[in-house]
Amino acid sequence: MTRLSRTMKGWILGLIAVLVFSVFPTYQVQAAEACAEPAWSSSAVYGGGNIVSHGGKDWKAKWWTQGEMPGTTGQWGVWEDLGACNPGTPPVDPPVDPPVDPPVDPPGTGDRMYVAYASSWNTSIYDLTTANIPNYITHLNLAFVRPDTTYTQGSYAFDQAVAGLEFVEGATTPNGQRKFTAQQSQDLRSNIAALRARGTKAFLSVGGWSYSQGSQWSRFNAKNIVDLALDLGAAGVDIDWESSGSSCNKGTAVQFSCTKDGEIAGIITSLYNEIHARNANLQISIAGWSTGAYYVKGTPFEEGKVQWGSPFGGTMYRVVKDHGGKIDFINLMSYDGGIYYDPREGYESYKAIYNGPINMGMQIAPEGSGGAVLQLNAAPGTVYDADMMNGQNNIATAYYNVETMVNYIKNKGRANDGFMLWQLWKQRVHQPAPPGAANENSAGQYVCWNLPLQGDCNQVIPSLPKL
């Protein structure tokens, strides 16, 4: 009995040893196969090319993303499946999330901006390529997004009915509403990412004339706008609030107010708060109406000292003066004011109340209203800063040319002021400029060479076929 017990005891001890040494190496192998890449975090922001681990696999982001779980976005989604995790030594401390900010934009864009509005109507998402858009264009405003969009993050519903964008791939047609396919949604996002990597940031331009004439702005939804901007990989949101019917009292600077001050102030404030609450890293620009800072009593821009009779004089005054700290830059719509309107005075009226960058706007003729025709060069003998703010400049056509405006901004503006173009596809979606007038390429190249801008000033916007 004693000998049997010793034998059994030895057998049991041997079995324990075998089990210990067979289980322990397995543990070591499993530990060695822990993922080397940082674990995916729902709160972190990832840029194209970032690699994370999740569910035992490595995943690479195809473009900017936040909150989209790897393995749930599908074949055409943001995460590319790289397969099983690469071996690595398990970290002692918990993995550190990647930086909250998306990848740093490439250097070399310079301090001066050149913003171009790109209409979505009668265009395709496949027009938005680096080959079609000169690299001296620093910002591309995609026009237009609905203020009351019902867009939800992760839906990729970029069509006209939801987002408001009118690209042919998602346009409203007599045969019904087109919807983006998964491939088209990915291609649009990829084009925007490629432009940004090249140095051209896409902004979502919200509103415009067509989306501002009803009650859309009263249903402005900052969360949905930010969701849409993040899903597209945009760098910012441009508020193109063109709500008519606001009348101003033409009082002094302290008393000056307009009937729709609360609406536009609420739009900017809610968007600003939403962006900062979510640490979304989006900028805000606004489209400043031509006479939007006019008619304040006791200033150089009082009626009679500048253009008379504009029905929209002063409509942007309070939002810029009181909420300018929430706005990263202004794109001045210094056109559509008729032959009496002087864009230099419009610029000065905003400069008097706003310290950030102002981009002087140019519209390729024919203009939407007013009848002025943008010329490229000034007539011989034109003085770039003559006849201003004296009430005598009743015909401003001599100064409505790219040369005069560039000279004015270069010599009288601030170092970070630039230019804006309405619009990138003007001759394609509307009609050719009149003979002798400035066009998209001649205006942009003149600004690039003479302001100057960073980039290759010889690059051109190609003549694309009409859709």
pLDDT digits (tens, 9 = 90+) for 47-75: 667 788 888 898 888 766 777 888 887 76
The pair of three-digit structure tokens given for residue 426, joined into one six-digit string: 């003007």
Identity of the residue numbered 407? N
pLDDT of residue 392: 67
Instruction: Determine the topology of domain 114-450 in CATH.
Output: TIM Barrel (3.20.20)
Q: Are 108 and 414 in contact (CB under 8 A)?
A: no
CA angle 255–298–243, rounded 5-degree value: 55
User: What 3-state DSSP class applies to 359?
Assistant: strand
| Dist CA 341 CA 308 (whole Å) | 9
Instruction: Tell me the Ramachandran region of residue 249: left when phi exceeds 0, alpha when psi lies from -120 to 50, beta otherwise.
Output: alpha
Cα(first)–Cα(last) distance of the chain, in Å? Answer: 98
The position carrying tokens 């000292």 is 305
Q: Are 359 and 416 in contact (CB under 8 A)?
A: no
Q: Give the tens place of pLDDT for each residue, 271-292.
A: 999 999 999 999 999 999 999 9
Report which DSSP code applies to 279.
Answer: T
Show the 3-state SS of 282-308.
CEEEEEECCCCCCCCECCCCCECCECC
pLDDT of residue 104: 44
User: What 3-state DSSP class applies to 197?
Assistant: helix
* 442 contact partners, CB below 8 Å, separation of at least 6: 376, 402
CATH 2.10.10.20: does it fit domain 45-84? yes
Q: Are 324 and 353 in contact (CB under 8 A)?
A: yes
Q: What stretches in the chain show pLDDT beneath 70?
A: 1-34, 45, 47-48, 63-64, 75-76, 86-110, 309, 392-393
Give the Å distances, CA to CA, from 365 to 137, 235, 336.
Answer: 20, 29, 10
Q: Give the tens place of pLDDT for each residue, 420-449.
A: 999 998 888 888 899 999 999 999 999 999
Q: Which residues pair with 79 in a beta bridge?
A: 61
Q: Where are the domains of the chain?
A: 45-84, 114-450
User: What 3-state DSSP class applies to 198?
Assistant: helix
Nearest to 86 by CA among 41, 160, 35: 35
User: What 3-state DSSP class applies to 145?
Assistant: strand
pLDDT of residue 26: 39
| Dist CA 192 CA 203 (whole Å) | 10
| Dist CA 333 CA 286 (whole Å) | 10
The pair of three-digit structure tokens given for residue 67, joined into one six-digit string: 């909150």
